[in-house]
Chain A
Amino acid sequence: MMRLKTAARAFAAKTMGHAIVFFAWLVTAVRGIWEGSEPVPVQRVYFANHTSNGDFVLIWTALPSRLRRRTRAVAAADYWLTNGWRSFIGRDVFNTVLIYRGEEGRDVDPMEKILEAVDGGDSLIIFPEGKRNMDPEVPLLPLKSGIYNISAKRPEVEMVPVWIENLNRVLPKGKLVPVPLLCTVSFGRPMAVRAGETREEFLARAGEALLALRPQGGPQATAGQAPGEVRG
């Protein structure tokens, strides 16, 4: 009976995963742009800008399915374990690496859990800004140290910068229904901590690599200014 329940849950999770990916594609027609890396099954940590709750689903959708199976997002346990549905999606469907952000409820060091997943052979998706970037005027928040620590401790893993474009317009903060707009996910050149490189230098380089992936053209080109601002 237990085994049957587990199998049913696994089947439901798999079906749900396909449904979510199909829905994400239907809404955004997302396209993966590979600039400097190839969609090959190499162990990687994909680090991306974070503007929407749907970010990791979109990266998942943009990855070819053979890579998707071995790619897990690093997500906040205090968000994904709050109710049954979320924990089903976070744990069963996406097999996320759940870490605790606050001090409360933290039994293990987040870095330990991340390295454990890396040593298990999985690729990871991580958002080094730490939280969603809600300010449209600031393209990227300062990056946190996690990606430096991973690369310094596991130098053989490729650190791949990923830029997600437009998803924040599909599903702005506080909105429950998405509007269909095209999104792109750009995968950049793999990087690693260089010999003698400091934490600050690496994080600055990673931030630049992310910003360099932003697509040219699009609506930003004509975004006007607020009333009262003086045009230069």
Chain B
Amino acid sequence: MSAAAVDLIKLLFGVLGVLVLATAVGRVLREQVAPDRSNPGIENLNARIDAWWGMAALLGLAFLAGKTGVIVLFGFISFAALREVLTLTTKREADHWALFGAFFVVLPVQFWLVWDEWYGFYSIFVPVYAFLLLPVVSVLLGDTRDALVRIAETQWALMICVYCVSHVPALLTLRIEGYEGREVLLIAWLVIVVQISDVLQYTWGKLLGRTKVAPTVSPSKTWEGLVGGVISASLIGTALYWITPFSTWQALGMALAVTAMGFFGGLVLSAIKRDRGVKDWGHLIAGHGGFIDRMDSVVFAAPIFFHLTRYFWSAV
């Protein structure tokens, strides 16, 4: 078995251990506080933990299936996320073909380009070609009402749901000296650090949270939670340096960067939800809401992590 596979299996067992522990804690809490399932907070916690099992299993399977598996998985996540965001945007009948193009042309082409490892094209396809050509489709039909709003909202949806999400599997295309065949561990590291940071920010916020960061945007985000979550998640990211091409200090720096970006992602997407008067983006992941509710932090962190790694470590 290759060293990369050994590391991946070690990592999967680690995640398994954390999930078993979380599940035990969740069930014990339920037994102690409300065995009749009457406490909504504890029920939500258990629903979230159960959903984490599903998400970890899917990601693990995709990793074992290799590049195509990872790209197909993130392609589906991208589709579900795009559907959630575009559902909340201002649209008129004239946008029908532009929306069709976003889902069935732009999205598959972007992920195909990543699969093809065509960096020069997948890094500009959405912001150059999709952004310029899709509005043409809408405008040719002659409907000018809310034109800028309609165009801008579709583009932002493509940016976060297709372009940013595609930068997670794009990590597989980086060529780092001495790290060949282990690229999938970069994705594992990014997803683990960012998601753990979300969980720890929430936990620290519940335990110590007093001072709200942006009360008008999200009442649950506090400075105590932010600082505690970012520091503890960054330490976990540092401890996992052995699966990355980074040294310990580099891993710490990277972890700080992606956890900060993750926090900003959560903040920006909460503001959009608040503007549209909804609590969750969707309903498909029990306890978590929609795909964007779970992916908001990864979405913001992925392109920055990709480009930092590419600039400092990659040969291509």
Contact = CB atoms under 8 A, between A and B. Distances in A.
B277 A218 contact: yes
A218 B276 contact: yes
Contacts of A166: 87
B89 A219 contact: yes
Nearest to B144: A227
Interface in B46-94: 79-80, 83-84, 86-91, 93
Contact of A217 (B90, B99, B277, B283): B277
Interface stretch (A45-53, A145-153, A179-187, A205-213): A179-187
10 contacts: A172-B96, A179-B86, A180-B103, A181-B86, A217-B88, A218-B277, A222-B275, A223-B90, A224-B149, A226-B145
Nearest to A220: B90
A216 interface: yes
Nearest to B79: A180
Interface of B: 79-80, 83-84, 86-91, 93, 96, 99-100, 103, 144-146, 149, 275-278, 282-284
B82 to A, nearest CB: 8
Interface in A185-232: 216-219, 221-227
A219 B282 CA distance: 14
Given A217-B276, A218-B88, A218-B276, A179 B149 contact: no
Contacts of A31: 283
A182 B87 contact: yes
B146 A29 contact: no
A169 B91 CA distance: 8
A180 B284 CA distance: 15
A185 to B, nearest CB: 13
Contacts of B145: 224-227
A3 interface: no
Nearest to A27: B83
A66 interface: no
A224 B282 CA distance: 24
A179 B96 contact: yes
Contacts of A180: 79, 83, 103
Contacts of B284: 29
A5 interface: no
Closest 5 CB pairs of A and B: A217-B277, A179-B99, A182-B87, A217-B278, A224-B146
B103 A179 contact: yes
A1 interface: no
B276 A172 contact: no
A29 B282 CA distance: 9
Given A177-B100, A179-B103, A219 B88 contact: yes
